[in-house]
Structure 1
Amino acid sequence: MSEARFDPEIMQAATVAQQLAARPEASVFVEANAGSGKTRVLVDRVINLLLAGHKPETILCVTYTKAAAAEMKERLFKRLGDWSVTADAALAEELEKLLGRELKPGEANTARKLFAQALETPGGLKIQTIHAFCENLLRRFPLEAGAPPGFETLDDAAARRALQAARRRVLASLTPDEVNTLIETGGPEAIDTILRWARSNRHDVAAEIERVGGVDALSDQLWPVLDLPAGADPDALKADAVADLPRAGLEAAAHAMCHDGKPTDAKRGEILRQALAATDPGLAFDMVLTFFFTDKGRGKRVAALATKAIADPLPHVITLLESEAERFEAVRDMIGRAAMARASAVALRVADCFVRAYDAELEQARALDFDDLVRLAGLLLAPENPFSGWVGYKLDGMLAHALIDEAQDTAPRQWDMIRGLTTEFFAGEGASELDRTLFVVGDEKQSIYSFQGAEPARFLAEGDHLAASAAAVEQPFERPGLDVSFRSAPEILAAVDQAFAAKIPAPEVKFLAGASAMPFARYQGHRAARSGTPGCVEIWPAVPKPEKLEESSIFDPVDQRARGSSRDVLAQAVAGEIADMIARGDAVWEEKGGKFCQRPVRPADIAILVWRRTGGFFEEVIRQLKVKGVPVAGADRMVLRDQTAVKDLLALGRFAMTSGDDLALAEVLRSPLFDPVDPDLPGIDEQALYDLARTRTDIKRRGTLWNALYTSEDPRFADARIALTAVRDQADKTRLYDLFTGFLNDRTPTGETRWARIYARLGEEARDPLQEFLARALQHERDEGGALASFIARVEGEDTQIKREMSADRDEVQVMTVHASKGLERPVIILPDTTRSPVTGKTDPVFAHPECGLLWSPRKAEDPDVVARLRETATNKQLAEHGRLLYVALTRARDRLIVCGWRQGHGDLGQISEDSWYQQLSDAWTGDTWAEIDTPVNLVVDSCAPGLRFGPAPTALGTADLARTGVSDIPTWAIAPAAAEGGMIRSAAPSSLLADDEHEPAVRSPLADPGGHRFRRGDVIHKLLQTLPDLPPDRRQAAAQRFLSVRADIAEADRAQIITETLGILDHPDFAPLFGPGSRAEVALVGHAPGLPDRTIIRGQVDRLVVTDNEVLIIDYKTNRPPPSEVAAVAKVYLGQMATYRALLRAVHPGKSVRCALLWTDAARLMPLPDAVLDDIFDAGAA
């Protein structure tokens, strides 16, 4: 075996190409294969420009993502930082290798100073995304660009809100006829389908409408585009077709078929007779279609219009019927096109309305979205802009060198902006007198973001344009190709070339129909820099469909998939192989200083890449990995409301708002929030919850689960009763963020926080969704006021995906989509989702058209020729991008690549789509170099053919060698149990300071107070006593009636009693000082005072507070029925609450007398609380 290293000859060739690409005096267009060192070339070029004396502030690097910009900055500053302290000889050697020549005097000293020069550049080096650059440009020239000065850039959340507001405006503007047209044409999803298309094509739609002078003028173009007379209407066409029927001949034909033909003729003749007798033209037309065509008039022409019993004696009847069938077929086609024109006109109006509504939302917010940034920047720099000369003059000394990264993903509008920015580089004085360059690097084979507007053909066209522009002014220009991969093993690169090299169309077929489905216009093969480091490629047999799925239980969730499908079998096989390769210690290669050595594989070395998250495999393979004990990072993207931990907090929030929500409370009780980490401690299992639920019912069956929990003596519910009481009490008094973080941070009776309980059940991947949930709570407080109800509704109503930052430091298997893997590399890549077709029946039914704006055709079978061509073009683009996506997936692998899949669909074994990745690779990966192997699939399914492997099997290094290199032993202190945190400061409500068994007293019998009516009644009275005193006495009753009129959960008689009780208190002369000047309602108190428990912050709210010059009076409303008649009968929890308020307010108002009283609303009685009773309350409670 040859030495494991980089091949010197190939490395030399790669170095020459990279030096050519980094040549600072030339403009360069680079096509770089995956793993060919593209980022290094970018950094080299920036350094070469700095070494050549160009100022850092005149260099602009545009990257595709923030992560790419951060990586480039990190690499650049690391190299420059290292140079500032590197020894002279080593620095000279590295600089000569970079420049490809001997150093000139002083260049080494210049290199040492570059780090400080870059750091001291005003504003820093401009390495940023294209959107960030456009934003900065518009902020400098807002008036010239037509942007609002001081504009905001919409983040994802703000953009979603603007879209939702625009959607509401559109829905409000639609007429009933338009709604009917939309639903009849496209079903219930029609409006959202059109709005999605309008959002993606917003600026094009607006430009087309402006070009022709309005949406009506653009709609008028639909009829000629569809080869129709102007304004052709489907109903009128039907009526005309029926009116032109040769009735006499058809009536004779129908009579003959009914009386002289066979039963088949008689049945069809009756249809024709009824059609001729119908008075409604639409019904008559449909029946004629049913007579002439299959599938109720929608299909092909019937094979025989009549049997020989009619055809032989009456040939003229057949001639007449065939003539009418031909006429009606043409009319049917015309009516379909007319219906499409009418529906497309409505869709166009919806799109126009949406564009105007969305623009209005942005204008009102003085905001721009990402599309606006690029469009306005392009318009600002366009030659047609009268200010472009002025802008160019101002930018003249600021930009001399532009570098464009990941150029294959640049959209046409972005290319237009780049051209406007760099036009002066190749024109007039700018070209002849100044040294300016444009550097573009990308790879057509990796263009996978068409949904963001990327067009690989434009990438290649820009290369030709750059070459022509440089040649026109005799500027140096280079077009090197970087074909050497430093990443992948030779076997992997050979397999990639074998899969794709034959996909390039020959010149004679390049422009034929179907050729546009080819993934690349040209293909640059690969050379491996690695030598003596073999890898392998495996393709497993596709798992066949099982004969029978496992039967699901009636107790299974309704959305749970049946187990045992081919997809599930493959997920088990993949998870099992990963567990086995880790256990065996399968070898992977690791490079150190240009040399390679082998080490055992770790979980972090493995990535599973799927085409899409849909279909169930994504979740199933994660589940199987967890079952087998393999560390797995979880999903790379998430919908916040669908995350289990977030669902638990949403249920907690719903309970806090409405304690009578039994489902929410049940969800909370069965969640990890009340499940001890120690499995030996009792938790709330299903049986305990069922038993609790049975105790909630009374004779009227209106009891709530909260009533049952509150009175339960089961010790398993003690923690929940105390914690949920506090949450319920704090829900309308505590900040949203504090409500949830306080609950999660509180120590439970078993010692751990609720964070720890969640992680114990759900794993560390629960951290990201919980932190995002809490961040949303903070944002909601800032932007929307922080109401709990609106926050819960906002989170539950959003289905936007959130990207999780996948940490490379955690030793976990990653499962992600191929799109998300762009830029990633791993020693082991597994591609399981390979057998599906990229062309599904749910392709976008709205097609842009240059003459009429759009054409809307939800059903492919009804496409006219013009739409069929548009759909074929879209399908070919989809297939081409799917091929490029496969290239990206295959080239993520360094040492081992596994391709597998599952069959599904029709047939005993299931199907593999003809245009799937699996089929393409199965057809390409053949020959003597591919050896048959047994795979994990063969161990599960005996009937499968063997798999294939190219390259040697990985060496098993054994479990003894699995320790990570370079990791020191964990110190003793790191694994010692942490000391108890009993001394930490805690937050508490006044009602929680007594012993745990001192709870709010029960009121009456549960039979007399079903469904938590006491809580609703008390809340309502509290609210009325808070708000009514601010109104004149003569308006209070009417206001109370209005307030209670919306409370459908309170009976009419109870409403009247509540109003009488409340007004009786407010009108009572003895209580006038409580509601007069100097009194305040719902006063929040936060703090600590002498006499209260140490290291405890009290958070409470006083119902009514009266402060005079000499005293402070604290009033708390109590709605108990019946109320106690003496202080001795008052619940200790109430006394403790008032004693706490008194202590806090004594600290706030030193020198004033502080008195406390309870106002019993049921009896309209004020009960003063003696100081002596309050002085002893904590001691008595503790005893």
Structure 2
Amino acid sequence: MSQSPTTFYSASAGSGKTYTLAQDYLTLLFKNSYSNGYRKILAVTFTNKAVGEMKERILEYLYKFTFEELEDSVTGIAAHIQQESGLNSEEFRKKAQAIFNQLLHDYSAFDIVTIDSFNHRILRTFAKDIDLPDNFEVELDSKRLISKAIHNLIARAGKDKKLTQLLVDFSLSKIEEGKSWDIEYDLQDIAKLILNENHYPYLKQLKDKEVEDFLRFRESLYKKINTTQKQLTETAKALVELSQNSNIDPTDFKGGSRSIFNTVIKVAGEDFSVGLETASVRDLIAGDLYPKGKSQDIKDRIDQMAGEIQSFAVQYKENMGAVLFYKNIASSLTPLSLLNELLHEIDQIKINEQIVPIYEFNALLAEQIKDEPAPFIYERLGERYRHYFIDEFQDTSRMQWENLSPLIENELQQQRENQERGSLMLVGDAKQSIYRFRGGDADQFLKLLATPDLFMLPKKEETLAFNWRSYDHIIDFNNQFFDSYGDHLSSDVYKTLYKKYLKQETRSKEGGFIQIDFIEKDFEAPYEEDDYASVYPYHVHQQVLKAQASGFSLGEICVLVRANKDGHEIAKYLVSQDMRVVSGDSLLVHASHKVQLLVSLIKMIQAPEQQQPRLEFLMAYTKVFQLEDIHSFVTAHLHESLQTLGGKLMGWEEEDLGSAFAKAALFQATEHVAESLGLFKEQDTRLQSFMEFLFEYSTGYEVSLSGFIEHWELKMDKLSVPAAADADAVQIMTIHKSKGLEFPVVIVPHCDKKLDEARNPTGWVEVNEVEYEGFDQVYISLKKENEHYPELAPEVYAQHLAKAEMDQINTLYVAFTRAREQLYISAIETNSKTACYASLLMDFVQNKGIELTAENGFKTVEIGDLARKSEVTKPEQSEMLEEYKVHLDKERLTISTRRGLLWASGASEAIQKGNVLHEYLSLIQFSTDYEEVSHKIDRDFSLSKKEQSEMKEMISSVIYHPDLTAYYKDGVKVLNEQPILLPSGSKLIPDRVVIVGDYAVVIDYKTGAVLNKHKSQVNEYADLLESMDIKVAEKVLVYTDTLEIVKWNG
């Protein structure tokens, strides 16, 4: 690793970023004199997936370093580490073994974490300082919180007079704009500002404002508008009168019947609709007032008033620019005042529920630690890190960096007795910054790159030049296309980025294929049904067929889209053509007909007198069981009683649906119905996910039918199951979700976006608070007319345009660089001179002199070799889900009755106590689950208060035991009570197996005395895992009565 305390890695797509991170991390470990050097390293990234990949990669390398003979895959990195550390081969191997073993036993100190989890750790230490409850919970579901706050806000209507007036005004303004009067959607939209920390400093200032402040400000703006327009009207009237007195007809001016003087006449009549960039306004300002053919007499008369006309035109442009500015501000004041009220509602919910929303982490920390010395923060944390790694730095927000930098600066500027200095490694690529809407700040990364030092210390910059992912034709195309694209950016900084940090070298992977299709405007796709909004679904299908014909399977193809609706339409068409598809929609739990059946059933039970839920239930039933005569079925059952429905559809003789839900808990009743309908006969991941969701609701909330329906409708849009890695199906996902992934074949349709396109952009403009009723920042919509506004609005708009262009090019860069071997691009042909994806692609093709082939409504360019060059690999097989087990009420009753005997006298005491303990320990994946399990024990009314307390204490003693904490740390893969199938058909079930990379730790819980047969049992589990090619690194017996821990290898 570089001797410079700070190293910046500029890591373009496919450049081996994870490898470089792992190499530098491991180099630090091996250079450390001790085997626990990881305790002095903090590595942060942005997703749990990235954390898992990084940890797995480091542990995999360490494990392979322990081999007597190194595998080819690690010889390069091993040689680098040996050279940097000065260790010979045997010393290196022994050091690897020591680090590996130490890390396994001290896994909780392996601090590769998400930035949110690190912030959470700091926040916990400052909880009392910022008046947070000791047991506060992190609210991950921002949508739930905001929806509840909006509901509470609207509920105040009619009680709070000023708020009621605000809501009415907002509804009326929407009606005047031709929109729906329903304001909930608009409140949801404005509430998105809360989630983006870029808006935090502005919203913080607004919190001090009252409703009256907003109303007073709006009134003052309307006064300014009226005063300004009145002055313009009076000036225009004077000019019209002057022209009449001078016997000048409007048609004497340039334009004739469309006289430029009509602008003056319109303003005199209080018509201010003339645009500020119209030809008439330009001519009036320029003094170009009459055609050359006019008589000299008329010219002279017009010239006599030319100065006043020009003065008016300049005044009109400036003053109407101000008027438009005031109107823009005024239109946002009502939503902002409601947002301010919404913030107060959220604060109240936070207090009532003792929660901290995750989106507040950065802001809370910034407020707390900004004036604290770094050593104090370290003292609170109980840690002192020497070395820092920050991954995906281009997505780091300004506030996140400001929170981390004091810790880093403090360490880098200290020199230890052994002359060792701390270090910082930043890895990023501003070209892949596509999360600005979440607060990501690529400009911050670019500014740090441009400075010669950091914290007054020298820094080193390295560019990872090689692309290890893609074939050379793909790399060359991306190099050339984005180099030409960069010329169209308005920002010199962003131009430099795409010139200096774009070009990548190839790594002898010859081949690759690119196809660009320009679809003719009048091309009509041969759809059987006229329900597709564009030609892209048809065209994507043709591209998939072509990729298949060249040797790729469906599972190796990914379609990348900008919007979910585009992906949905493409998925729908591919399915209609008998192609298997995996998309966000297909993985959503609520897309399952079985789930729809159960949800509509719960709605029907909750409101049996309503027809709509019953109709939804019957329709879902016809889809689940594929009934053909839908009309007859629905008609026959629509008006039947719940008892009759239960008998006919469920096969119940004595039960009816209503009583089933009245007698049993919601989860058990739903499970009973699903079992009666035979829904569990086939494995169904979405149905199992729904049942888990229902169970979690039943154990974590105050249960009611209406409460569950509300909870479901709030969560359903995000509840999904992960796609199987071996699914032979076309993947469809958004470009944003594809970041960090790669695919053999990538298809990118809908390349029609404008370079500066953004959805309803907005921004904040700094103003003089004296002139703007105490407001020093105003919120406006960003649009072209901003260029004529006063204050700093034109500058804000220009910055927005530059960043919007950057967003567009970065999004396309991420999409194109996901491809390993084939890349298909398509756009609607355009002759527009407006800079957009399609026009830039066409310019690129024409400038390179590449020939276009026109056929069947398409103009096509092909670059490279269509034939597959890579080896065909067999995908890994996913584990099959076990059959869903339904526990009958009698079984539950038996377990509950046994619990009542716990801690009683008798020979079965230890067995019964162990059974219950095992049951609750099986619910613990990670130590962070303890709080939830503790709540479940508190609600287990078959146990006395004393028994509940003892049970919680026993579980806590196990999972927080110093010798066991590593096995309950977030980030490891855990299998609790998972059966291992033997050739004979019987099963063995270890209590807990922890898997990290290619090795496992087997853990079994025991009560009573230490017996040799316990070891034999665990050895048998381990032998079975070894036979499945899972290396067992350690075996552990935990005696829960005495907390004796027995560990062994071999």
Alignment TM-score > 0.5, same fold = yes
Work out which of the residue numbers 778, 784, 805 in structure 2 matches 1:854.
778
Tell whether the 8 Å contact from 1:402 to 1:438 is kept in structure 2 after alignment: yes
Query: In the alignment, which residue of structure 2 is the partner of 1:1030?
Result: none
Whole-angstrom distance in 1 between the partners of 2:758 and 2:356: 35
Worse-matched range after superposition: 333-342 or 479-488: 333-342
Work out which of the residue numbers 621, 629, 640 in structure 2 matches 1:685.
629
Question: Structure 1 residues 519, 368: closer, same or farther in 2, change over 3 A?
Answer: farther
Question: Structure 1 residues 391, 618: closer, same or farther in 2, change over 3 A?
Answer: closer
Worse-matched range after superposition: 823-832 or 424-433: 424-433
Query: In the alignment, which residue of structure 2 is the partner of 1:372?
Result: 360
SS in 2 for 1:707: coil
Query: In the alignment, which residue of structure 1 is the partner of 2:1008?
Result: none
Work out which of the residue numbers 691, 707, 728 in structure 1 matches 2:640.
707
Query: In the alignment, which residue of structure 1 is the partner of 2:87?
Result: 103
Q: In the alignment, does 2:138 pair up with 1:138?
A: no
Q: In the alignment, does 2:390 pair up with 1:409?
A: no
Compute the displacement of 1:144 (Å). 4.8
Query: In the alignment, which residue of structure 1 is the partner of 2:861?
Result: 948
Q: Supply the RMSD in Å over aligned alpha carbons.
A: 5.3
Query: In the alignment, which residue of structure 2 is the partner of 1:1070?
Result: none
Tell whether the 8 Å contact from 1:182 to 1:343 is kept in structure 2 after alignment: no
Give a deviation string over 1:416-464, Cα, whole Å, max 9, x none: 1121121112325569954311111111211111111112121132345
Letter in 1 for 2:864: G
Letter in 2 for 1:103: L
Whole-angstrom distance in 2 between the partners of 1:298 and 1:641: 52
Give a deviation string over 1:355-405, Cα, whole Å, max 9, x none: 3433343244332222332233344443x22x6442245668631111111
Question: Structure 1 residues 830, 343: closer, same or farther in 2, change over 3 A?
Answer: closer
Tell whether the 8 Å contact from 2:606 to 2:705 is kept in structure 1 after alignment: yes
Q: In the alignment, does 2:200 pair up with 1:234?
A: no
Work out which of the residue numbers 869, 874, 891 in structure 1 matches 2:800.
874
Query: In the alignment, which residue of structure 1 is the partner of 2:540?
Result: 574
Tell whether the 8 Å contact from 2:236 to 2:268 is kept in structure 1 after alignment: no
Whole-angstrom distance in 1 between the partners of 2:656 and 2:497: 61
Whole-angstrom distance in 2 between the partners of 1:259 and 1:487: 69
Whole-angstrom distance in 2 between the partners of 1:920 and 1:705: 58
Work out which of the residue numbers 443, 446, 459 in structure 2 matches 1:457.
443
Query: In the alignment, which residue of structure 2 is the partner of 1:204?
Result: 201
Whole-angstrom distance in 1 between the partners of 2:722 and 2:481: 32
Letter in 1 for 2:193: W
Tell whether the 8 Å contact from 1:519 to 1:883 is kept in structure 2 after alignment: no
Q: In the alignment, does 2:464 pair up with 1:482?
A: yes
Question: Structure 1 residues 300, 376: closer, same or farther in 2, change over 3 A?
Answer: same
Query: In the alignment, which residue of structure 2 is the partner of 1:886?
Result: 812
Q: In the alignment, does 2:714 pair up with 1:790?
A: no
Letter in 1 for 2:353: A
Tell whether the 8 Å contact from 1:400 to 1:437 is kept in structure 2 after alignment: yes
Query: In the alignment, which residue of structure 2 is the partner of 1:49?
Result: 28
Whole-angstrom distance in 2 between the partners of 1:221 and 1:785: 44
Q: In the alignment, does 2:663 pair up with 1:738?
A: no
Query: In the alignment, which residue of structure 2 is the partner of 1:81?
Result: 63
Whole-angstrom distance in 2 between the partners of 1:323 and 1:927: 47
Query: In the alignment, which residue of structure 2 is the partner of 1:400?
Result: 386
Larger Rg: 1
Whole-angstrom distance in 2 between the partners of 1:374 and 1:24: 31
Question: Structure 1 residues 354, 126: closer, same or farther in 2, change over 3 A?
Answer: same
Letter in 1 for 2:106: T
Query: In the alignment, which residue of structure 2 is the partner of 1:176?
Result: 165
Alignment of 1:721-1120 (within 5 A): 726-746=656-676, 748=677, 753-755=678-680, 767-768=685-686, 770-796=687-713, 801-802=718-719, 804-837=721-754, 839-840=756-757, 842-847=759-764, 849=766, 852-857=776-781, 860-861=784-785, 864-865=788-789, 866-902=792-828, 914-925=834-845, 930=850, 938=855, 941=856, 943-945=857-859, 947-955=860-868, 964=874
Compute the displacement of 1:164 (Å). 3.7
Whole-angstrom distance in 1 between the partners of 2:28 and 2:239: 89
Tell whether the 8 Å contact from 2:473 to 2:863 is kept in structure 1 after alignment: yes
Letter in 2 for 1:953: L
Question: Structure 1 residues 644, 236: closer, same or farther in 2, change over 3 A?
Answer: farther
Q: In the alignment, does 2:522 pair up with 1:522?
A: no
Question: Structure 1 residues 196, 114: closer, same or farther in 2, change over 3 A?
Answer: same
Whole-angstrom distance in 2 between the partners of 1:459 and 1:880: 14
Tell whether the 8 Å contact from 1:408 to 1:443 is kept in structure 2 after alignment: yes
Question: Structure 1 residues 880, 272: closer, same or farther in 2, change over 3 A?
Answer: closer
Question: Structure 1 residues 836, 146: closer, same or farther in 2, change over 3 A?
Answer: same
Query: In the alignment, which residue of structure 2 is the partner of 1:1068?
Result: none
SS in 1 for 2:453: helix
Tell whether the 8 Å contact from 2:588 to 2:720 is kept in structure 1 after alignment: no
Query: In the alignment, which residue of structure 2 is the partner of 1:1123?
Result: none
Letter in 1 for 2:538: Q
Whole-angstrom distance in 2 between the partners of 1:443 and 1:858: 28
SS in 1 for 2:858: coil
Query: In the alignment, which residue of structure 2 is the partner of 1:71?
Result: 53
Tell whether the 8 Å contact from 1:446 to 1:887 is kept in structure 2 after alignment: yes
Question: Structure 1 residues 94, 238: closer, same or farther in 2, change over 3 A?
Answer: closer
Query: In the alignment, which residue of structure 1 is the partner of 2:41?
Result: 59
Tell whether the 8 Å contact from 1:379 to 1:417 is kept in structure 2 after alignment: no
Whole-angstrom distance in 2 between the partners of 1:361 and 1:541: 53
Question: Structure 1 residues 563, 637: closer, same or farther in 2, change over 3 A?
Answer: closer
Question: Structure 1 residues 66, 929: closer, same or farther in 2, change over 3 A?
Answer: farther
Whole-angstrom distance in 1 between the partners of 2:501 and 2:653: 64
Tell whether the 8 Å contact from 2:660 to 2:669 is kept in structure 1 after alignment: yes
Tell whether the 8 Å contact from 2:471 to 2:512 is kept in structure 1 after alignment: yes
Whole-angstrom distance in 1 between the partners of 2:499 and 2:432: 12
Worse-matched range after superposition: 420-429 or 513-522: 513-522
Compute the displacement of 1:785 (Å). 1.9
Q: Which runs of 5+ in 1 are unaligned?
A: 1-21, 276-284, 553-561, 588-600, 678-682, 696-703, 904-909, 989-1085, 1087-1183
Whole-angstrom distance in 2 between the partners of 1:651 and 1:636: 19
Question: Structure 1 residues 580, 877: closer, same or farther in 2, change over 3 A?
Answer: closer
Whole-angstrom distance in 2 between the partners of 1:832 and 1:687: 39
Work out which of the residue numbers 667, 682, 685 in structure 1 matches 2:616.
667
Tell whether the 8 Å contact from 1:165 to 1:361 is kept in structure 2 after alignment: no
Whole-angstrom distance in 2 between the partners of 1:602 and 1:547: 28
Alignment of 1:9-24 (within 5 A): 22-23=1-2
Whole-angstrom distance in 2 between the partners of 1:230 and 1:928: 54
Whole-angstrom distance in 2 between the partners of 1:645 and 1:396: 50
Query: In the alignment, which residue of structure 1 is the partner of 2:605?
Result: 656
Query: In the alignment, which residue of structure 1 is the partner of 2:554?
Result: 603
SS in 1 for 2:671: helix
SS in 1 for 2:469: coil
Give a deviation string over 1:721-761, Cα, whole Å, max 9, x none: 85997433333443233333333333x4xxxx22568x8xx
Tell whether the 8 Å contact from 2:248 to 2:298 is kept in structure 1 after alignment: no
Query: In the alignment, which residue of structure 1 is the partner of 2:567?
Result: 618
Give a deviation string over 1:913-955, Cα, whole Å, max 9, x none: 8433333233224577956568xxx4xx3x433x111111215
Compute the displacement of 1:859 (Å). 6.5
Whole-angstrom distance in 1 between the partners of 2:97 and 2:131: 44
Letter in 2 for 1:900: S
Query: In the alignment, which residue of structure 2 is the partner of 1:435?
Result: 421
Q: Which runs of 5+ in 2 are unaligned?
A: 769-775, 891-941, 943-1050
Whole-angstrom distance in 1 between the partners of 2:741 and 2:578: 24
Letter in 1 for 2:519: A
Q: How many residues align?
A: 853
Whole-angstrom distance in 2 between the partners of 1:464 and 1:249: 58
